[in-house]
Amino acid sequence: MTVRVGVIGAGMIGQDHIRRLTEVVAGAAVTAVTDIDGPRAAEAASRVGAAVLPSGRDLIGSPEVDAVLVASWGPSHAEHVLNAIAAGKPVFCEKPLATTAADCLRIVDAERAHGRRLVQVGFMRRFDAGYRRMKDVLASGALGAPLMVHCAHRNATVPESYTSVMAAQDTAVHEIDVLRWLLDDEIVSAQVITPRRTSRRFEHLRDPQIMLFETANGVRVDLEIFVNCQYGYDIQCEVVGEAGLVRLPDPAAAGVRTAGRHGTAVPQDWKERFGDAFDAEFRAWTASVASGAEPCGPSAWDGYAAAVITDAAVRSLESGGEVVAVGLKPRPACYGGAAA
Ligand SMILES: NC(=O)c1ccc[n+]([C@@H]2O[C@H](COP(=O)([O-])OP(=O)(O)OC[C@H]3O[C@@H](n4cnc5c(N)ncnc54)[C@H](O)[C@@H]3O)[C@@H](O)[C@H]2O)c1
Ligand SMILES: O[C@H]1[C@H](O)[C@@H](O)[C@H](O)[C@@H](O)[C@H]1O
């Protein structure tokens, strides 16, 4: 069976995912595209022979669409995801699931009322080969209990539209998700402190930021967010346990020796660094839709948890560095928790 996907949002990542679903992932085809920017939708659709539909609602209701991919601006995600659940269609939503924790909870409630999981959130790092190897090492018990995690998330530059709170909402949200999964633990507090600002930033921005998280098991995490580091897209993660440590491998790159130096290229953006993870993420999603199984990737609950934790980080930043407790609701049984 070919899964017929309708894509809402044909911007940067929407177009990349349309290419991926068309050229890379077996068993998927993009049959419809919509975007509030009509010409952009038309151009993206014409490249793959898809229909252009006037709105997300029309696309979700189309009989030519089996499953929905939401890749529009964050504030529009909740409406599209809720409409897809109401139509009983599987929906892949790029991060964030929604821009408020309250909207994420509405999605969780709608999915529970529907009776089975339909939502997968686009936290692609869970599909990255390096993070998966780290998870295997931690699960093997070879390191004993994890004690500390050191992370860095660096972008070469960000546009002027990127604001200080996006360091948590847009950037750190990837570590927040992948660490909950990697450690199989919950984040219970967040604190954000701000070093001297880089001169290579737009004036309004606090960059870099250092985020400190504590988990329910007492693991301490430090995360450097530096989104104008200039030199490339650099993701680092090291988990220190009682008997050793495990480090995220850098992507494989040829070592070049020339002019008295030895070096490897640093990826320049997330597309390059996580291209394979995005491919794996969409292969898994397509397979689950084709077989009628529930999605195996990050759930609506994970989207909700990430929103609550990023809210705590934003509150800490805005308070000048207070430690802010994370107040998650009890996790329902259908998301692996104990609550009814
Ligand atoms: N997983 C990742 O690493 C990753 C990377 C980049 C972006 N993202 C996420 O993907 C989403 C899109 O990011 P982008 O970089 O492609 O942004 P973008 O601005 O390039 O594209 C967004 C598109 O959505 C359209 N749009 C906005 N509201 C809409 C609506 N209500 N209905 C239909 N179309 C609408 C816009 O016209 C635009 O074409 C964001 O949520 C972003 O956080 C995730
Ligand atoms: O939306 C992007 C994307 O999620 C990247 O993976 C992250 O590194 C950027 O900081 C963020 O702005």
pLDDT value of residue 18: 98
pLDDT in tens, 242-299: 999 999 999 999 999 999 999 999 999 999 999 999 999 999 999 999 999 999 999 9
Q: How far is CA 233 from the centre of its chain?
A: 16
Helix axes 38-48, 12-19, angle to 10 degrees: 10
Whether the complex's predicted ipTM surpasses the cut of 0.90:
yes
pTM here? 0.97
Q: How far apart are the first and last CA of the chain?
A: 35
Check pocket membership of 34 for ligand 1, CB cut-off 6 A: yes
Can you tell me the distance from the alpha carbon of 224 to that of 218, in angstroms, rounded to the nearest whole number?
A: 20
Can you tell me the distance from the alpha carbon of 107 to that of 41, in angstroms, rounded to the nearest whole number?
A: 26
Cα separation values, 316 from 117, 188, 193, 210, Å: 33, 13, 8, 11
- 124, 126, 164, 174, best to mutate for ligand 2 pocket (most atoms within 8 Å of CB): 174
Domains of the chain: 3-124+276-299 (3.40.50.720), 126-268+304-335 (3.30.360.10)
Can you tell me the distance from the alpha carbon of 62 to that of 73, in angstroms, rounded to the nearest whole number?
A: 22
pLDDT value of residue 337: 87
Length of the chain: 340
Can you tell me the distance from the alpha carbon of 313 to that of 301, in angstroms, rounded to the nearest whole number?
A: 19
Look-up of token digits 């080969």:
129
According to DSSP, residue 36 is labeled: S
- Nearest CA to 325 out of 214, 185, 166 is that of 214
Check pocket membership of 76 for ligand 1, CB cut-off 6 A: yes
pLDDT value of residue 4: 98
What atom of ligand 2 comes closest to residue 173's alpha carbon?
4
Residue type for position 169: Q
Check pocket membership of 155 for ligand 2, CB cut-off 6 A: yes
State which residues of the chain have pLDDT below 70: none
